[in-house]
């Protein structure tokens, strides 16, 4: 069976890997570069039980286990490691500090407690993981094809491929995994809307000075909103910090995503206040990206109703890196066997949300530059 996946983010490449393991003939179509968007610029934080009590619980728990298995079985070079995780706040005066407070934070940061251990929290370098999934899929015969999907090929009432550069690429099944740009596919298919929420981040060169301790903080920015910075020291000697979100509009071309005016300066000031190490460390990257979100906050994972041969996997919001492996495994089962066995996908069925009418979706290339 030939499967064409549109989008080489963490979701598209994870589906490609699991399909390739099962022996499918896989092609991944990517308009810019593997991991060029949120999948390359996110935190890469993983948690076993933070989705417990929600419809995401089975997907997250299966994914947390698969991340460990993939790192071991593929000898993945993507910085997978377990972490200790703390919550706290900064910017208020505090009389006492939690016993286990990391030594590398400023006195201004008060740790409220430990919220994750090496049994329950972990991380990957998200770009390296996404590329690692694509390389592992390629080693099993999958093909990465540069190009932008411009429409769908239809035959006998079914979706039979993708149009790229005016040419048809044929396939038995097509998977829309275009992250927040999946909204563009609503011009071709009856899909519920997917929105993009912007987040800013910095990567510092910190060497071995910060141990594997993740931080989730609250910070009332002077004269500004309440911020919730997240800090992830990585195995490669860098430290990732994100913390300023915005509702800026999504450029049609992922290459045109750039930080909002002033956001990086605010984030850098926050980091300098958070840790004397970050205050001194060289900045390796200042960046922004959009996470894909749906109207009810749950991903769309499944067959597209009324369009035989079409599937969608997007809208993973803040847990796309965590939930990619189980999404890939379940999508491979759905496409090849007709049903997912490893995880119940019914909470993520695209049919649960009202679809846009493709005839009434008018998305021009005006913003695409
Ligand atoms: C600041 C921030 C921090 C985050 N931190 C974490 C975290 O710590 N842990 C976690 O689990 N998740 C985290 N996330 C969420 C995670 O990054 C996303 O859920 C995930 O990366 C989404 O992956 P995706 O493959 O769906 O989309 P994307 O990464 O956006 O990939 C979509 C791909 O489709 C391609 N594409 C689009 N249109 C076309 C077309 N027409 N033809 C061909 N290709 C196309 C794009 O170029 C892109 O490569 C974070 C997100 C943000 C914004």
Mind listing the pLDDT tens digit for each residue in 172-228?
Answer: 999 999 999 999 999 999 999 999 999 999 999 999 999 999 999 999 888 888 999
Task: Out of 83, 181, 253, 287, give the residue to mutate to test ligand 1, the one with the largest number of ligand atoms within 8 Å of its CB.
Answer: 181
Q: Which residues line ligand 1 (CB under 6 A)?
A: 6-12, 29-32, 36-39, 42-45, 148-149, 177-181, 184, 199, 201, 242, 254, 289, 291-292, 314, 316-322
DSSP 157: T
- 136 and 188 both lie in a single domain: yes
Of 275, 293, 311, the last residue of a domain is 293
- 201 and 216 both lie in a single domain: yes
Tokens of 286: 């200042």
Give the pLDDT band (50/70/90) at residue 367: very low
* HEC string for 240-271: EEEEEEECCCCCCCHHHCCCCCCHHHHHHHHH
CA–CA separation, 190 and 355 (whole Å): 5
Please state at what angle helix 126-139 crosses helix 320-337, rounded to 10 degrees: 20
- 30 and 178 both lie in a single domain: yes
Predicted confidence (pLDDT) at residue 95 exceeds the cutoff of 60: no
Residue having the nearest C-alpha atom to atom 50 of ligand 1: 42
Q: Which atom of ligand 1 is nearest the CA belonging to 13? A: 25
- 46 and 185 both lie in a single domain: yes
Write down the pLDDT at residue 331: 98
Tokens of 321: 């890196």
Strand 2-6 versus strand 173-176 pairing type: parallel
Domain count, the chain: 2
- 219 and 335 both lie in a single domain: no
pTM, to two decimals: 0.96
Q: Is the CB of residue 216 less than 8 Å from the CB of residue 85?
A: yes
The domain spanning residue 110 has which CATH number? Answer: 3.30.9.10
Tokens of 195: 């929105």
Tens-digit pLDDT profile for residues 235-273: 999 999 999 999 999 999 999 999 999 999 999 999 999
Write down the pLDDT at residue 62: 98
Ligand 1 centroid – CA 79 distance (Å)? 19
How large is the average pLDDT for residues 320-338? 98
- 38 and 128 both lie in a single domain: yes
Residue 75 dihedral angles phi and psi, to the nearest 5°: 45, 50
Of 247, 272, 293, the last residue of a domain is 293
Of 241, 263, 293, the last residue of a domain is 293
The domain spanning residue 165 has which CATH number? Answer: 3.50.50.60
- 103 and 166 both lie in a single domain: no
Residue 360 dihedral angles phi and psi, to the nearest 5°: -105, 0
- 224 and 285 both lie in a single domain: yes
Write down the pLDDT at residue 364: 47
Distance of CA 205 to the CA centre of its chain: 23
- 128 and 227 both lie in a single domain: no
Q: Which domain holds residue 186?
A: 2-75+124-194+294-368
Predicted confidence (pLDDT) at residue 305 exceeds the cutoff of 70: yes
Q: Which atom of ligand 1 is nearest the CA belonging to 7? A: 34
- 200 and 261 both lie in a single domain: yes
How many Å is the Cα radius of gyration of the chain?
Answer: 21
Q: Is the CB of residue 142 less than 8 Å from the CB of residue 20?
A: yes
Tokens of 273: 């206040």
Ligand 1 centroid – CA 13 distance (Å)? 11
Ligand 1 centroid – CA 107 distance (Å)? 35
Question: HSE-up of 119 (CA within 13 Å, CB side)?
Answer: 1
Residue having the nearest C-alpha atom to atom 37 of ligand 1: 178
- 135 and 102 both lie in a single domain: no
Distance of CA 294 to the CA centre of its chain: 14
Give the pLDDT band (50/70/90) at residue 366: very low
Write down the pLDDT at residue 99: 64
Question: By three-state DSSP, how is residue 247 classified?
Answer: coil
Distances in whole angstroms, Cα of residue 314 to Cα of each of 112, 181, 183, 257, 348? 34, 9, 10, 19, 10
Tell me which residue of 189, 183, 186, 322 sits closest to 254, measured CA to CA: 183
- 51 and 135 both lie in a single domain: yes
CA–CA separation, 40 and 254 (whole Å): 12
């Amino acid at each position: 069976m030939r499967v064409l996946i549109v989008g080489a983010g963490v979701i598209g490449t994870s589906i490609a890997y699991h399909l390739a393991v099962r022996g499918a003939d896989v092609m991944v179509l990517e308009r810019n570069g593997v991991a060029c968007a949120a999948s390359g610029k996110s935190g890469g934080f993983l948690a076993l039980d933070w989705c417990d009590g929600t419809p995401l619980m089975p997907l997250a728990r299966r994914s947390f286990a698969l991340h460990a298995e993939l790192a071991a079985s593929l000898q993945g070079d993507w910085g997978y490691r377990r972490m200790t995780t703390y919550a706290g706040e900064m910017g208020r005066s505090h009389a006492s500090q939690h016993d286990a407070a990391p030594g590398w934070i400023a006195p201004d940061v008060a740790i409220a407690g430990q919220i994750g251990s090496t049994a329950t929290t972990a991380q990957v370098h998200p770009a390296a993981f996404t590329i690692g999934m694509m390389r592992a899929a390629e080693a099993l015969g999958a093909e990465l094809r540069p190009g932008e999907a411009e429409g769908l090929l239809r035959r006998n009432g079914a979706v039979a491929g993708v149009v790229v550069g005016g040419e048809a690429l044929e396939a038995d099944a097509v998977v829309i995994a275009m992250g927040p740009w999946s909204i563009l596919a609503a011009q071709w298919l009856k899909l519920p809307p997917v929105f993009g929420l912007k987040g800013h981040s910095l990567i510092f060169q910190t060497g071995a000075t910060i141990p594997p301790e993740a931080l989730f903080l609250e910070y009332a920015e002077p004269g500004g909103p309440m911020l919730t910075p997240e800090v992830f020291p990585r195995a490669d000697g860098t430290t990732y910090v994100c913390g300023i979100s915005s509702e800026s509009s999504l450029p049609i071309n992922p290459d045109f995503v750039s930080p909002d005016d002033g956001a990086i300066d605010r984030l850098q000031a926050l980091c300098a206040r958070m840790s004397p190490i970050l205050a001194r460390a060289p900045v390796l990257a200042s960046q922004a990206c959009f996470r894909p979100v749906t109207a009810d906050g749950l991903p769309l994972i499944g067959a597209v109703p009324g369009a035989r041969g079409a599937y969608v996997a997007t809208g993973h919001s803040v847990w796309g890196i965590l939930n990619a492996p189980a999404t890939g495994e379940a999508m491979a089962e759905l496409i090849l066997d007709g049903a997912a066995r490893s995880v119940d996908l019914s909470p993520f069925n695209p049919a649960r949300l009202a679809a846009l009418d493709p005839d009434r979706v008018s998305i021009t290339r005006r913003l695409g530059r």
